[in-house]
């Protein structure tokens, strides 16, 4: 009972989209699939869904090739959102549920339930094009889960939502997991990964860069991070005198420091107190997923997204 | 590739409902119903507008020329001569209404009146109240001279007919002057029996009279038009529907639930069912109007029912063949329209990509039209061969069948070839489709198509 990708490769002409990707998603897990779009995430998801065929390698679910699993096994929220613009919301959802062999009446019942839950019950008879982007996205999410799939594959489910809707969606997300669904999702919001995911895999240019449980990944770097805030001093210039410590992210509320493994974090605190400064925040932590992302990939996740657009265009032009 | 028939049904149903609700569908349906009724009632409508019209008036002034024939009556007989019934009841007087017996129930084309007021008549011709004024005079040599005043040109059909009639009248006048007693004018000016034959003396292959022509025309030809319209119109709908799904990006969501093959099949079936629906909506009132034409004619025109004959070219077997060709021909073209449209991502590019298909469809249609109207010999090698080629057979076999040129065996062979080529077309289209649906922003090229067919995209 697991989703296993083994040595998947896929080329589009001269562009290598996947260069031997392997990872395993345990059943019932929330799994973060990280990396820019051009990194090969969408291609991997499409191969799992049998929309694309891999050049080599296998994707299996419960030891069976994924293309043999019934389509209703999967719930898919694609990177490119799409609804029939002139079709009514409820009708649209009933149609999609119907494709998964859910009778129209039952489909309508489930759709109403979800719409209610996302506070958009009033929009049931509105045409999709009349809805705001955020509301369209909620419809899209419902479309992906209405048939209660065993595995949810979601490309950037949280992008473009306001905080209230993010909370709603997160709740729905966790409920799907509690019902036993395995969830694979990609995001560039790293705090979301830390909050929701049990495991992650980071891919770059079609290769797995690192993977494992979020805890292990954060500890794997062998570095520590200190969050430090000092009353009345945002520059922290004196830190230059403390060996093995570097300011990686200065900020008005607090600064993030990178501390070498050999250095005891307490030396930083002591140095501050010795200078007679009032420390308002001091926190020792593992590096954030975001820092690891930058370290491994060399760019910020958002920058990758931009590059991914270019790479995706290149891939489809091939 | 496994096919889930229930998905095909679900997709077809959505296509049917969504497309049936569009304004385009409703507008075209209303328009086609009107067109259908107008076509069905065309004879009645034409006669209604002709009712009360007594045709073009030709005025005749004989002055003091004292012709030995009644010029007005003779002109009336000669102008209103009909190929089927060439007898007139011209009996002196002004000759008005003398052509009533000319062409069955049809009003006479020309009304001939005598006048003495040349200036007034010229004014009436200038106003368009009269078609022309024929002034007859006698010159010093005793010969009749004719002057024809008209706004039309010298080579206008009426002008030519009047000239011809003038010649005949002149001959008769000379004969009488030479001492040969005048014969009964009606007999004299009656048209002779005249037939056109094939080189071997048999009856000609083409229509022998305008009525026969209409029957052949109505048979295969109208059905070929209907088929052509269905393929162009609904084929475009399929193409639009595919590109709409691509441009709204809903395609990828659907592909998570259904295979490209199911999507393609569902679309073609859904739009096809809608096409049939529209044709039934259009066909029922048109058929009723056609069947009730005598009654409607009686109501509108007065007189007794049954005076108008129905076109007899449409038979049950022809309609059956039409049904089969409609379904198969539509499936063939619609699948290819869908496959082609899958290669583009914007609606603006549809016309460009489907243009070759539309051209092929138009070519078959035009050959069918030309061969059924006699511009092209329907038995020529080109037409015969083309009538078996899948892209053309729906039109050509149908029109040849309507003309009574082929037997059931030939029709069956054409249908069999077409039936075999449909799955082939669907395979090609599905290939294009599955490669194309996830392809955005590429300019379609022949190279791309070849690569797609070889499974390399």
> In this predicted model, what pLDDT tens digit does every residue of B292-323 receive, in sequence order?
877 777 777 666 555 445 455 567 788 888 88
Largest Cα span, chain A:
72
Interface of B with A in 44-83 (CB under 8 A): none
Report whether B311 contacts B215 (CB < 8 A): yes
Residues of B in contact with A75 (CB under 8 A): 256
* pLDDT recorded at residue B89: 35
**How many Å lie between the alpha carbon of A203 and the closest alpha carbon of chain B?**
22
pLDDT at position B74 over 50: yes
* pLDDT recorded at residue A96: 93
Residue A264: strand, helix, or coil = coil
Q: Any idea which of B30-34, B80-84, B128-132, B188-192 has the lowest mean pLDDT? A: B80-84
| Residue written as token pair 């067109």 | B35
Which of A51, A73, A100, A309 is the best mutation test for B, with the most CBs of B within 10 A?
A: A51
Task: Report the complex ipTM.
Answer: 0.76
Assess B8–A contact: CB distance below 8 Å, yes or no.
Answer: no
- Mean pLDDT estimate for chain A: 85
A176 with A91, same domain: the answer is yes
Residues of A in contact with B270 (CB under 8 A): none
* pLDDT recorded at residue B68: 78
* pLDDT recorded at residue A318: 38
Give the closest of A83, A100, A316 to B250, CB-based. Answer: A83
Extract the tokens encoding A116: 């209610």
pLDDT at position B99 over 70: no
Assess B441–A contact: CB distance below 8 Å, yes or no.
Answer: yes
C-alpha pair distances (Å), A222 with each of A219, A261, B181: 6, 6, 135
Report whether A207 contacts A222 (CB < 8 A): no
* pLDDT recorded at residue B322: 86
Structural domain total, chain A: 2
**How many Å lie between the alpha carbon of A31 and the closest alpha carbon of chain B?**
20
pLDDT in tens, A221-252: 777 888 888 887 777 888 888 888 888 778 88
C-alpha–C-alpha distance, residues B44 and B297, integer Å: 6
- Chunked mean pLDDT (size 10), chain A, 318 residues: 89 85 92 84 89 89 89 88 89 93 94 93 92 90 93 89 89 89 89 89 89 85 82 80 82 83 84 87 84 75 49 44
A129 with A272, same domain: the answer is no
- Mean pLDDT estimate for chain B: 78
* pLDDT recorded at residue B446: 67
C-alpha–C-alpha distance, residues A20 and A298, integer Å: 21
Verify whether the Cβ–Cβ distance B249 to A140 is below 8 Å: no
C-alpha–C-alpha distance, residues B283 and B323, integer Å: 13
Verify whether the Cβ–Cβ distance A82 to B442 is below 8 Å: no
The last residue of one of the domains, among A171, A199, A218, is A218
User: Residue B103: which pLDDT band, with cuts at 50, 70 and 90?
Assistant: very low
CATH number of the domain encompassing residue A121: 3.40.50.300
| Residue written as token pair 């896929």 | A10
Residues of B in contact with A100 (CB under 8 A): 257
Q: Which residue has the higher pLDDT, B9 or B127?
A: B9
Classify residue A178 by burial, with Cβ atoms within 10 Å: 0-12, 13-18, 19+: exposed
Residue A311 lies in a domain: no
Which of B5, B21, B241, B256 is the best mutation test for A, with the most CBs of A within 10 A?
A: B256
C-alpha–C-alpha distance, residues A157 and A166, integer Å: 9
pLDDT in tens, B328-369: 999 999 999 998 888 888 888 888 888 888 899 889 888 888
CATH number of the domain encompassing residue A240: 3.30.70
Domain that holds residue A244: 222-285
A132 with A269, same domain: the answer is no
* pLDDT recorded at residue A300: 59
pLDDT at position B173 over 80: yes
A250 with A267, same domain: the answer is yes
Residue of A nearest to B259 (CA): A51
C-alpha pair distances (Å), B430 with each of B112, B215, B328: 69, 42, 17
Residue A56: strand, helix, or coil = strand
Verify whether the Cβ–Cβ distance B438 to A84 is below 8 Å: no
Interface of B with A in 411-430 (CB under 8 A): none
Residues of B in contact with A81 (CB under 8 A): 249
pLDDT in tens, B196-222: 777 777 665 555 555 555 555 556 677
Q: Any idea which of A87-91, B182-186, B259-263, B265-269 has the lowest mean pLDDT? A: B182-186
A193 with A266, same domain: the answer is no
Within 8 A by CB and 6+ apart from B211, the residues are: B309
C-alpha–C-alpha distance, residues B61 and B112, integer Å: 11
A82 with A168, same domain: the answer is yes
Assess B2–A contact: CB distance below 8 Å, yes or no.
Answer: no
The last residue of one of the domains, among A164, A184, A218, is A218
What are the E-state strand segments in chain A? 3-12, 15-25, 30-34, 56-61, 64-65, 74-77, 151-155, 182-186, 199-204, 207-213, 224-230, 245-249, 255-259, 279-285
Residues of B in contact with A101 (CB under 8 A): 6
* pLDDT recorded at residue B86: 34
Q: How many Å is the Cα radius of gyration of chain A?
A: 23
Assess B248–A contact: CB distance below 8 Å, yes or no.
Answer: yes
Residue A200 lies in a domain: yes
- Kindly write down the DSSP assignment for every residue of B363-378, as one continuous string: HHHHHHHHHHTTSS-T
A231 with A198, same domain: the answer is no
A8 with A117, same domain: the answer is yes
Spatial CA neighbour of B167 closest among B125, B134, B141, B132: B134
User: Residue B182: which pLDDT band, with cuts at 50, 70 and 90?
Assistant: low
User: Residue B415: which pLDDT band, with cuts at 50, 70 and 90?
Assistant: very high
**How many Å lie between the alpha carbon of B435 and the closest alpha carbon of chain A?**
9
Verify whether the Cβ–Cβ distance A313 to B441 is below 8 Å: yes
Extract the tokens encoding A58: 């296998």
A253 with A155, same domain: the answer is no
C-alpha–C-alpha distance, residues B255 and B117, integer Å: 85
Find residue A225's DSSP bridge partners.
Answer: A258, A285
**How many Å lie between the alpha carbon of B251 and the closest alpha carbon of chain A?**
7
A110 with A33, same domain: the answer is yes
Report chain A residues touching chain B, CB-CB < 8 A.
46, 49, 51-52, 71, 74-76, 78, 80-87, 95-96, 98-101, 140, 143-144, 313, 316-317
Mean pLDDT throughout B232-258?
A: 87
Q: Set out the domains of chain B in order of their start, with CATH numbers.
A: 5-45+208-453 (no CATH), 54-189 (3.40.190)
Dihedral sign for Cα A298, A302, A305, A310, please.
negative
A148 with A233, same domain: the answer is no
Dihedral sign for Cα B348, B349, B352, B355, please.
negative
C-alpha–C-alpha distance, residues B58 and B94, integer Å: 12
Residue A305 lies in a domain: no
Cβ pairs A/B, distance under 8 A: 68
pLDDT at position B17 over 90: yes
Verify whether the Cβ–Cβ distance A71 to B248 is below 8 Å: no
Residues of B in contact with A46 (CB under 8 A): 438
A190 with A238, same domain: the answer is no
- Kindly write down the DSSP assignment for every residue of B55-122, as one continuous string: -EEEEEE-TT---SS-HHHHHHHHHT--SS-------STT-TTGGGGTBTTBPPSEEEEE-S-HHHHH
The last residue of one of the domains, among A162, A193, A218, is A218
Find residue B58's DSSP bridge partners.
Answer: B112, B132
Largest Cα span, chain B:
101
């Amino acid at each position: 009972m697991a989703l296993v990708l083994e040595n998947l490769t896929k080329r589009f002409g001269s562009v290598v989209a996947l260069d031997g990707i392997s990872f395993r998603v345990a059943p019932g897990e929330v799994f973060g699939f990280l990396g820019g779009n051009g990194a090969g995430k969408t291609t991997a998801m499409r191969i799992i869904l049998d929309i694309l065929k891999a050049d080599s390698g296998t994707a299996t679910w419960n030891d069976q090739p994924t293309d043999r699993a019934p389509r209703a096994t999967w719930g898919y929220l694609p990177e490119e959102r799409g609804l029939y613009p002139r079709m009514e919301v409820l009708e649209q959802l009933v149609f999609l549920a119907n494709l998964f062999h859910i009778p129209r009446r039952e489909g309508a019942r489930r759709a109403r339930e979800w719409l209610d839950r996302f506070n958009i019950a009033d929009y049931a008879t509105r045409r999709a094009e009349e809805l705001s982007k955020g509301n369209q996205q909620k419809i899209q999410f419902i479309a992906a889960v209405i048939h209660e799939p065993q595995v949810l594959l979601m490309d950037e489910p949280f992008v473009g939502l306001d905080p209230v809707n993010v909370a709603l969606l997160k709740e729905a997300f966790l409920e799907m997991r509690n019902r036993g669904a395995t969830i694979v999702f990609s995001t560039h919001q790293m705090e979301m990964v830390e909050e929701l995911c049990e495991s992650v895999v980071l891919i770059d240019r079609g290769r797995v860069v690192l993977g494992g449980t979020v805890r292990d990944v954060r500890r794997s770097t062998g570095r520590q991070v200190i969050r430090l805030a000092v009353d009345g001093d945002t520059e922290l210039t004196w830190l230059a005198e403390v060996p093995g410590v570097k300011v990686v992210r200065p900020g008005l509320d607090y600064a993030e420091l990178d501390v070498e493994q050999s250095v005891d974090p307490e030396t930083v605190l002591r140095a501050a107190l010795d200078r007679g400064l009032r420390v308002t925040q001091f926190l020792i932590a593992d590096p954030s997923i975001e820092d690891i992302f930058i370290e491994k990939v060399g760019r910020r996740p958002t920058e990758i997204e931009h590059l991914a657009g270019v790479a995706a265009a290149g891939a489809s032009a091939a | 590739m496994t096919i889930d028939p229930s998905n095909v049904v679900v997709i077809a149903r959505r296509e049917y409902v969504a497309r049936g609700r569009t304004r385009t569908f409703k507008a075209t349906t209303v328009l086609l119903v009107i067109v259908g009724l107008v076509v069905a009632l065309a004879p009645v409508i034409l006669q209604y507008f002709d009712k009360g019209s007594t045709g073009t008036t030709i005025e005749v002034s004989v002055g003091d020329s004292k012709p030995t024939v009644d010029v007005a009556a003779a002109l009336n007989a000669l102008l209103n001569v009909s190929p089927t019934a060439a007898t007139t009841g011209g009996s002196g007087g002004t000759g008005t209404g003398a052509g009533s017996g000319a062409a069955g129930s049809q009003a006479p084309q020309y009304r001939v009146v005598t006048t003495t007021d040349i200036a007034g008549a010229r004014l009436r011709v200038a106003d368009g109240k009269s078609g022309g004024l024929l002034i007859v005079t006698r010159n010093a040599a005793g010969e009749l001279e004719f002057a024809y005043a008209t706004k039309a040109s010298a080579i206008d059909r009426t002008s030519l007919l009047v000239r011809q009639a003038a010649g005949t009248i002149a001959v008769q006048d000379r004969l009488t002057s030479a001492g040969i007693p005048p014969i009964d004018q009606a007999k004299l000016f009656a048209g002779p029996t005249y037939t056109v034959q094939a080189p071997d003396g048999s009856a000609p292959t083409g229509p022998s009279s305008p009525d026969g022509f209409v029957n052949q025309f109505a048979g295969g030809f109208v059905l070929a038009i209907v088929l052509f319209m269905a393929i162009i119109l609904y084929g475009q709908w399929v193409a639009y529907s595919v590109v709409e799904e691509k441009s709204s990006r809903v395609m990828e969501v659907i592909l998570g639930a259904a295979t490209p093959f199911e999507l393609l099949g569902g679309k073609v079936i859904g739009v096809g069912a809608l096409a049939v629906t529209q044709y039934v909506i259009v066909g029922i009132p048109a058929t009723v109007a056609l069947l009730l034409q005598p009654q409607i004619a009686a109501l509108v025109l007065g007189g007794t029912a049954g005076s108008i004959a129905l076109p007899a070219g449409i038979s049950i077997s022809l309609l059956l063949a039409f049904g089969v060709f409609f379904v198969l021909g539509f499936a063939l073209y619609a699948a290819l329209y869908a496959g082609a449209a899958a290669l583009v991502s914007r609606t603006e590019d549809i016309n460009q990509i489907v243009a070759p298909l539309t051209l092929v469809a138009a070519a078959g249609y035009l050959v069918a039209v030309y061969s059924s109207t006699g511009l092209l010999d329907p038995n020529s090698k080109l037409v015969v061969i083309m009538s078996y080629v899948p892209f053309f057979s729906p039109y050509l076999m149908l029109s040849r069948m309507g003309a009574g040129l082929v037997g059931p065996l030939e029709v069956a062979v054409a249908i069999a070839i077409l039936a075999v080529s449909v799955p082939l077309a669907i395979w090609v289209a599905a290939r294009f489709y599955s490669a194309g649906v996830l392809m955005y922003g590429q300019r379609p090229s022949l190279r791309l198509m070849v690569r797609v067919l070889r499974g390399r995209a």
